């Protein structure tokens, strides 16, 4: 089955701790994205990557970091500098072509202890 | 900077009725997307609209795009309970980079 997987489904972070959210896709998509969703809100772009070994900041990159060492994988690290990390994190990927849409993974819910 | 506004934010409607969700955007957007989100779940793609006058339909949902008015609409025909969800529109302002800017969503509740 082709698709996007995210793990874990739920993640708890202690004060001062860095945590990493996993995102893997087997759709052979070049582009991958990380979004944050707060309750009752739309999605905001954190980081995106158009190609392996390259990524760009989105609208709310402060306190987050990413890597893109493999085409299939785009992990997101929520650092201790992110003071309000509680949110629903969604990873997406997109293929080439004008008719393509962004396909979303199931999401990771991050809570602060 | 692209801004996307949806209205209404909340919508309760009876089964069998028709209604429209509106999506206005502030600057040129090369494409417009509609997504559906069920409570606690991820986003499901509904439509991609690429050009002025584009209209797409799937079941009881029909989306259209007017680039001159910077307006997209999602029309619901003869609503059924299964359509209860939050609907998001999103615009792409960065040609080729596909950076999406989302509206805040319309929470639709279909009442029997």
Q: Which of A87, A91, A94, A95 is nearest to A105 (CA)?
A: A91
Nearest to B42 among A31, A58, A105 (CB): A105
Distance separating alpha carbons of residues B30 and B46, to the nearest angstrom: 17
Asked if B33 lies within 8 A of A101 by C-beta distance, the reply is yes
Confidence tier at B43 by pLDDT (50, 70, 90): very high
pLDDT digits 0-9 by tens, A53-79: 999 999 999 999 999 999 999 999 999
Cis peptide before A8 (omega within 30 of 0): yes
At residue A12, the pLDDT reads 92
Nearest-Cα residue of chain A relative to residue B47: A101
Q: How far A71 CA sits from the closest chain B CA (Å)?
A: 17
Which chain B residues contact residue A104 at CB under 8 A?
A: 35, 42-45
The secondary structure of chain A in percent helix, strand, coil, rounded to multiples of 5, reads 0, 50, 50
Q: Return the exposure string of A18-46: e unless at least 16 CB atoms fall within 10 Å of the residue's CB, then b.
A: ebebbbbbeeebebbbbbbbeeeebbbbb
Percent of chain A with pLDDT over 70: 97
Q: Which of B84, B92, B5, B80 is nearest to B38 (CA)?
A: B84
């Amino acid at each position: 089955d082709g698709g996007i997987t995210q793990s874990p489904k739920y993640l708890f972070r202690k004060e001062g701790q860095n945590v990493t959210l996993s995102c893997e896709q087997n759709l052979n998509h070049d582009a991958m994205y990380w979004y944050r969703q707060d309750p009752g809100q739309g999605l905001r772009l954190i980081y995106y990557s158009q190609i392996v070994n390259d990524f760009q900041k989105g609208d709310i990159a402060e306190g987050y970091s990413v890597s893109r060492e493999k085409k299939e994988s785009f992990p997101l690290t929520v650092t201790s500098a992110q003071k309000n990390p509680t949110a629903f994190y969604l990873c997406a990927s997109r293929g080439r072509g004008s008719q393509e849409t962004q396909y979303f993974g199931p999401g990771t819910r991050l809570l602060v202890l | 900077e692209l801004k996307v506004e949806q209205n209404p934010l909340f919508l309760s409607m009876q089964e069998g009725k028709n209604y429209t969700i509106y999506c206005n955007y502030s600057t040129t957007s090369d494409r417009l997307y509609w997504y559906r989100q069920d409570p606690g779940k991820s986003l499901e793609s509904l439509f991609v609209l690429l050009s002025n006058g584009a209209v797409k339909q799937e079941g009881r949902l029909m989306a259209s795009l007017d680039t001159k008015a910077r307006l997209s609409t999602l029309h619901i025909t003869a609503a059924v309970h299964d359509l209860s969800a939050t609907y998001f529109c999103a615009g792409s302002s960065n040609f080729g980079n596909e950076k999406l800017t989302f509206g805040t969503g319309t929470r639709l509740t279909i009442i029997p």
